[in-house]
Amino acid sequence: MENLDKCINCHLCRDNCDFLTKYGIDICDTDRLRELAYHCFLCGKCTSVCPVGIDGREIIMEMRRERASSDERTSIEDAYKGLISEKRNYRFRNWKHVTSGSIFFPGCNFPSMYPKTNKMLSKLFADNGIGTVYECCGKPVAELGLAEDEERIINSIREKLREASVTEIVTACPNCRDFFGDRLGVKVRSVYDKLSELGAGKTVKGDIELYLPCPDREKKLWVEELRPFVEGEIRINDSAQCCGLGGSAISCERELADGFVKKLGESIDDHIFTYCASCVGRFRRSGLKPVDHILPFIMGTDEQPDTLKSYLNRVMTKVK
């Protein structure tokens, strides 16, 4: 585990995190933190504010991996059996349309929430020789600390890409892109970057307010890549620590997760965009109406998230 001796006990991690505040602990309080490892949203805020470079998120991930490889494994798997049964060996996987060169990888949630826009993107990409692959990147399972499953999923995707001579993955989900990083040996880019290259997509009129999903909050790669599609200014709203879905912590910390949504709701001027379908689903299901995914507006469908039939839409990706 990372050397915590350099911690200067400044409490900045605690002051910036509702979870650490609730339990009155800092990242260096490892005994208590280990007990509470599955209560953390893995949002990375503690990592970004630590003045001495301690990676709190990674420390908690290591704690989860330790616990998931101990005799606690069965109870952990039991607690998250719904997620594991869908994503450990992704049920709705579909590689029928894989193409050599570039593929479109929309992930699990974008096609679930925005089937019409996803269909339009798949058609646009198919017209440009880019096939669509339905697969889970493995992040939700990896975040439970199931390291062997994580390794197996990454190896399996890497092997399929190699067999099909894929050299580039176009992602619609910032979690997929962040999780893959450079682990697959192929270029991983955002859908906005690819749309710019193809000269496709409309411009969203006026200034916008933007909520950044956790994996892009520090690097802001996606913000830069979607900037060409926004006519006016992008105002970043960082009032919520996470949408509440991060790290599957919501099952332990429902109240904190609802508090994040409340904070965002109170801070929105009029309307807010984001670029993560999971975040939109979470906000909309919690009753926060003025939150939209920006991609349907760039594609001109102005599609609203299908929170009622999202599971069915995901099932359908298997037979596309």
Residues that bind ligand SF4 (CB under 6 A): 7-13, 17, 19-20, 26-28, 40-46, 49-52, 54, 56-57, 60
Phi, psi (rounded to 5 degrees) for 272: -135, 145
Question: Cα separations (Å) of 175 from 214, 217, 223, 279?
Answer: 8, 11, 14, 11
Give least dist CB 62 to ligand SF4, A. 12
What's the closest the beta carbon of residue 46 comes to ligand SF4, in angstroms? 3
Residue 44 or 106: which CB sits closer to ligand SF4? 44
Residues paired with 230 in a beta bridge: 204
54 vs 226 by CB, closer to ligand SF4 = 54
Residue with smaller CB distance to ligand SF4, 64 or 88: 64
Per the CB < 8 A criterion, the answer to whether 203 and 230 are in contact is yes
Q: Kindly tell me which of 43 and 195 has the beta carbon lying closer to ligand SF4.
A: 43
Q: How far is the CB of 173 from ligand SF4 (least distance, A)?
A: 19
Q: How far is the CB of 284 from ligand SF4 (least distance, A)?
A: 22
- Look at strands 291-293 and 272-274 and give their pairing: parallel
Q: How far is CA 128 from the centre of its chain?
A: 27
Report the candidate in 247, 245, 241, 244 with the shortest Cα–Cα distance to residue 257: 244
* Nearer residue to ligand SF4 within complex by CB, 42 or 137: 42
Residue 246 Cβ, how far from ligand SF4 at the closest point, in Å?
7
**Contact (CB, 8 A) for 229 and 298:** yes
* Least CB distance to ligand SF4 at residue 9 (A): 5
User: Is 289 exposed, middle or buried, given 0-12, 13-18 or 19+ CB atoms closer than 10 A?
Assistant: exposed
HSE-up (13 A, CA, CB side) for residue 264: 33
Q: Between 57 and 194, name the residue whose CB sits nearer to ligand SF4.
A: 57
Closest to 73 in 3D by CA, of 106, 46, 38, 110: 38
Nearest-angstrom CA–CA distance, 12 and 252: 23
